[in-house]
Amino acid sequence: MTAVTTALHRALAADPDLLVLDEEVAEALHEGRPVVALESSAIPQGPAFPANLDLALDIDAAVRASGSVPARIALLGGKILVGMDKDRLEQFATDTSIPKVSTRGVGLTLAGGGAGGTTVSSSLLAADLAGIPVFAVAGIGGVHRDAPQSFDISADLVQFTRSRTAVVCAGAKSMLHPAWTLEWLETAGIPVIGYRCDDFPAYLSVSTGVRNPHRIDDLREIAAVAATHWQVGNDTSLLVTHPISEADGIPTADIEAALADATALAEAAGVSGPAITPYLLKAIAEATEGRTSAANRAVLLSTATLAGEFAVQMSLELAERAGESR
């Protein structure tokens, strides 16, 4: 069974009354055209309206400009939406009460009929069900720096062990421990490939100073690696990392200094668990006088562009393999 037919079987296995594909997304998947899955939690929980809506639309436009169809995922009315038009995006952008929902909350949210912005983990769950093999996000979750005491490890990492999806990203979020995150991924059998970069990126900074396990400079070669990874029976994700540009990034030393101060404030305030990441990000933004907002926008757009380009190569690779198997 090829990766293409496996994705199709997964999509067909999903309850059609539960998974609602936007018409454009459904048509692209049916025709074998490239599609990029995107999360939605940053829309209601990110910048204030209308900046959040403008950013979401710009990310979608970046994916389209790269030759792919954007498929933003969200939960609404007991359904998993795969693909959101402008009206739906605006609905999420103007309602800050919509919570972010990871995998553990998907069933609760769907059964309750409420709305939810999907995180990386829940978006991957839906992308896998829909048969979308490429997902874009600027920064993944990972192992927190206080994990030896808190056991705080992102659900993103666990979901990578369950979803056959290539995740295009700019590394892990800045407050995480890059070496421990890579170690966790290695143990879980998740390939990590740097696209034209030797070092594991640092989300808002170019480098963590930790090497990527692998480097490949051609997207079609990476697509072949992903397809083969799944063909041999692996049911895990594959990470494709590429950093923010030097011009848009923030020096690592500045981020580390801001993070140290923010972490001390969080400990004093008793902030922990799911609240720690947004708390630290906000504190870092304030400490860097808003430079993180500009950097975050830049890396979101560059990652979306790269994911769109990669999805084109992924679709070509999967189509070629499907043709050879006939």
Q: What is the pLDDT of residues 103-141, one digit of tens each?
A: 999 999 999 999 999 999 999 999 999 999 999 999 999
pTM of the entire predicted model: 0.92
Residue 194 pLDDT exceeds 70: yes
Binding site annotation covers 158? no
Quote the pLDDT of residue 184: 98
Residue 311 pLDDT exceeds 80: yes
Residue 3 pLDDT exceeds 60: no
Quote the pLDDT of residue 275: 80
CATH architecture of structural domain 3-325: 3-Layer(aba) Sandwich (3.40)
Binding site annotation covers 223? no
Binding site annotation covers 218? no
Phi, psi of 239 (to 5 degrees): -100, 130
Binding site annotation covers 154? yes
The per-residue pLDDT of the chain, averaged, comes to 92
Report the alpha-carbon distance of residue 226 to residue 56 in Å, rounded.
Answer: 27
Mean pLDDT of 52-75: 98
Residue 228 pLDDT exceeds 50: yes
DSSP for 197-257 reads -SBPPBTTBS--SSB-SEEE--HHHHHHHHHHHHHTT--S-EEEE-PPPTTTS--HHHHHH
Annotated domain spans of the chain: 3-325
Q: Which of 66-80, 230-244, 288-302 has the lowest mean pLDDT?
A: 288-302
More confident residue, 42 or 8: 42
User: Strand, coil or helix: what is 27?
Assistant: helix
More confident residue, 148 or 326: 148
Quote the pLDDT of residue 325: 64
The answer to whether 155 touches 317, Cβ cutoff 8 Å, is no
Binding site annotation covers 146? no
Q: Which of 12-21, 265-274, 289-298 has the highest mean pLDDT?
A: 289-298
> Which tokens in the block code for residue 39?
């999360």
Active-site residues: which are they? 39, 173
Binding site annotation covers 14? no
Mean pLDDT of 300-304: 98
pLDDT-above-70 percentage for the chain: 95
